[in-house]
Amino acid sequence: KKDEPMPDILSNSGKILFRSKTAKTARALLEEAVSTDADLTDANLCRLDLAGLKLNARVSAKLNLASFNGSNLSMADFSGAQLEQADFRNCNCFGATFAGAQMAGCIFVGANLMKVNFMRTHLENADLRGVNLTTTMISGAFTDGMLK
C-alpha cells in the first residue's frame, strides 16, 4: 500500500514518541517529526512504505535504535541522520542515501542495498552479512568491525 496512514510514531515498547494532527501518511508523519527535532530513539517504523522519504538535512534525525524491519525505504534520504543500532533487516533500501549518517551497529541482514549511498557513513560494527554490496557506494565510510 502506498503511504499507509499512521496516527502516531510509537517506540518499540508502545510509548508515543510523536503525534501529528495534520500528517496523512507515514512518510509525512516521519518527515514532520524530524523537522521538529523530535527524539525518535527506539521508534517502531516496521513494515511501512517510506519510499522517497526526505528528511530535513538541516536537522540531524534522531533515530538511534529505531526498527525499520521490512520497510520500503527505496530512494529515501537519511543523510546525516543518527541511526546507531537501527534495525534495517529485510528492508528495500534500493537507491537510498545514508551519506554522513551515524550507523554504528546497524543490522542490514536480508536488506536490498543495491545503489545505496554510504559515503562518509559511520558503519562501525554494522551487520551486513549476506548483503550484496557490488553496486553500493561505500567510499570514505568508516567500517571498522563491520560484518560482511
| Cβ–Cβ < 8 Å for 46, 39 | no
Residue 1 has pLDDT above 50, yes or no: no
| Predicted TM-score (pTM) of this structure | 0.91
* Angle 114-116-120 from CA coordinates, rounded to 5°: 145
pLDDT tens digits, 114-141 = 999 999 999 999 999 989 888 999 888 8
Name the nearest CA neighbour of 62 among 93, 77, 84.
84
